[in-house]
Amino acid sequence: MTGYMLAPRLRSPKTEIFLMTDTLNIALAQLNPTLGNIERNLNLLRGARTKAQGSDLMVSGELMVSGYPPEDLVLKPAFLDAIEQQVRVFASETADSGPAVLIGTPWRESGNLYNAALLLVEGKIEATYYKHELPNYGVFDEKRVFSAGRDFQPMEFRGVKLGVMICEDMWRDKVSMGLASAGADLFVVLNGSPFDVEKKTARFDYASARTKETGLDLVYVNLVGGQDELVFDGDSFVMGDGGVFVHRACSWQDSVMETSWKLSKNRWCCKNSGETAQVGEIEEIYRAITLGLRDYVDKNDFPGVLIGLSGGIDSALSAAVAVDAIGPDRVHCVMMPSPYTSQESLDDAVEIADLLGCRLDSISIEPAMVAFEEMLKPSFEDQCSDTTEENIQSRSRGLSLMALSNKFGYMVLSTGNKSEMSVGYATLYGDMCGGYSVLKDIYKTTVFALSEWRNSNIPSGVLGPAGPVMGARVITKPPSAELKPDQKDEDSLPPYEELDDILHGLIEAELSATEIAATGHDAETVDKVWRMLDRAEYKRRQAPPGVKISSRAFGRDRRYPITNGFTGYKPKGNEL
């Protein structure tokens, strides 16, 4: 039971004494919203509130009611009308004996639209807070649709002053210091913070800075789940004085974590339960792409996925992720051999499908190759064979997969990785065909690491097999597109370990060619990779979306012009 004591503070201009609590139970509702599905999202909150019946207050993530990021959907008045109507209904439900709720939602006031937190207490909207710091970089463009808040007033709940912040507000000391100066007793932060393997710890660093500079404990509630290219890992927590974790929820799954607080020596402190076990970086990436794919398929109501299974490592890993995400019965693999397909690849594809327990069909593309050769023969007269004929093979496969997709409704899952997409080592309307790509932001060297890890491990909650998901030869054999005799990727590209290091310098670090060459790479190779990266921009604009796991994913995160005459990257003289 929550205890109360008389407080000498006034709740309103009326002269009255109210009861202030000296203990408080706060539930952290880490949930997976579906963008635009207001009713479903509020029902998730209702279910979480039922689980949190022993708490005084339940806190959701950022924009939980609408889903995040809502983009231009919040420019539709009908959408905002529906949100406000259904939120008021939900608010009325808090008149029962259950906990009050602090929710994230778009909200209008005085002609402006805000990214808001609403405190729902005893059947009504008791207080509002509007996000101050609107991010406008990378995948974020909130300034385009939201107005910024200006008020640093804490929300008062049972005599406790909650310093409410929303996501980016925690990244700046301006908001936290303003709330602390206004008398906040503890911080409550609603978040929609996407997963980023390179900067995940940044949120912990910022939270730690806020607790250290103010001396106030902090509640952090993040979303979980996939939304188009973004994936949210959850990992909600309570952080105490000095930046110490007091509670930490499991990542990658819905949860309702209840925490107990007590006022002691004029400071609100949370009872310590310690951290939950955390996973390593490779497992984090694997869970991210699995959850991202599962939510993309399920939230868009696809019955399953189609994969061109070549016997190579990229399609093998894509198939494993798909089976783990949605189950083997919803994954249909198709081997599409040509005269250049090796027996090893045929055998490896069969083994992969057997290990995963999914369907595998074989459709030869040789008749299509012959048909195109005859059809184009008059136009190609006196021309030598080149990459044109290779691309016809790839496009014959893409056409076959799209025909199966049209006929049966399964979404084609493309299998290209970030290394290939960076340098344009992919065929438009061929292997780039698809509705989604789980490896779009995964470099080839990481593809190898993920495959080796999954062959020896199984993450919790997946639907795939506990044992290996591909044969050892799939991982060890030299990568090849098999579009001509004895072809190897390294005939056209630097070794992947070298290529990926150069690409990381060019893309994530935005280094110059000179700076990358100074780290030990051959200057001519760096120049070649840079030129390939620039020239392939038009292909990437036509690529399917895929899970973002890095700080600079292709798509909304990294935006370069297709028509681009800048050549200023070349150093003076003949250095490259």
Give the active site residues. Answer: 62, 131, 167
- Helix axis angle, 366-376 relative to 387-408, nearest 10°? 120
Phi, psi of 315 (to 5 degrees): -70, -30
| 270 neighbors 247 (Cβ within 8 angstroms) | yes
| DSSP state at residue 292 | H
Measured CA angle at 167 (ends 43, 182), to 5 deg = 105
Task: Give the 3-state secondary structure of residue 514.
Answer: helix
Distance of alpha carbon 152 from its chain centroid, rounded? 31
Is residue 416 within 8 Å of residue 314, measured between CB atoms? yes
Strand 267-270 versus strand 359-362 pairing type = unpaired
Q: What residues contact 545, with CB distance under 8 A and at least 6 apart? A: 228, 229, 296, 436, 437, 440, 555
Closest CA to 29 of 120, 111, 92: 120
Strand partners, 147: 114
CA nearest to 59, candidates 259, 327, 215, 251: 259
Q: How far apart are CA 421 and CA 541, in angstroms?
A: 11
Pairwise CA distance, residues 271 & 215, whole Å? 16
Q: Rounded to whole angstroms, how far apart are CA atoms 297 and 435?
A: 10
